[in-house]
Amino acid sequence: MPQVMEFKLPDLGEGLTEAEIVRWLVAVGDVVAVDQPVVEVETAKAMVEVPCPYGGVVTARFGEEGQELPVGAPLITVAVGAQSVPAGAVEAAEPGAEGSGNVPRPLIGYGADDSRPARRRRVRPVTAAVSAPVAAPVPVPVVAAPAAPAAPPAAAVPAGPVAVISPLVRKLAKDHGVDLRALHGSGPEGLILRADVEAALAAPRTSEPVPAPAAVAAQGERIPLKGVRGAVAEKLSRSRREIPDATCWVDADATELMAARAAMNAVGGPKISVLALLARICTAALARYPELNSTVDLAAGEIVRLPAVHLGFAAQTERGLMVPVVRDAQGRSPESLSAEFARLTELARAGKLAPADLTGGTFTLNNYGVFGVDGSTPIINHPEAAMLGVGRIIAKPWVHGGELAVRQVVQLSLTFDHRVCDGGTAGGFLRYVADCVESPAVLLRSL
Residue 359 · residue 376 · CB < 8 Å: no
d(CA 348, CA 317): 7
Give the other-Cβ count within 10 Å of 363's Cβ: 27
| DSSP reduced 3-state for 338 | helix
d(CA 387, CA 398): 27
Q: Which of 184, 310, 400, 418 is catalytic?
A: 418
Dump the DSSP string for 186-199.
-SGGG---HHHHHH
d(CA 148, CA 30): 18
Burial, 339: exposed, middle or buried (Cβ in 10 Å; 0-12, 13-18, 19+)? middle
176 part of the active site: no
User: Nearest 5 degrees, angle CA 281-CA 366-CA 355?
Assistant: 105
Q: What values do phi and psi take at 326, rounded to 5? A: -95, 115
d(CA 112, CA 133): 36
Describe the chain by its helix, strand, coil percentages, rounded to 5.
30, 25, 45
According to DSSP, the residues that pair with 316 across neighbouring strands are 321
d(CA 232, CA 132): 47
Cβ neighbors of 412 (< 8 A, separation 6 or more) are 249, 250, 251, 252, 388, 389, 390, 391, 430, 433, 434, 437
Residue 43 · residue 101 · CB < 8 Å: no
Dump the DSSP string for 401-419.
TTEEEEEEEEEEEEEEETT
| DSSP reduced 3-state for 378 | coil
3-state SS string for 29-69 = CEEECCCEEEEEEECCCCEEEEEECCCEEEEEECCCCCCEE
- Catalytically active residues, by annotation: 418
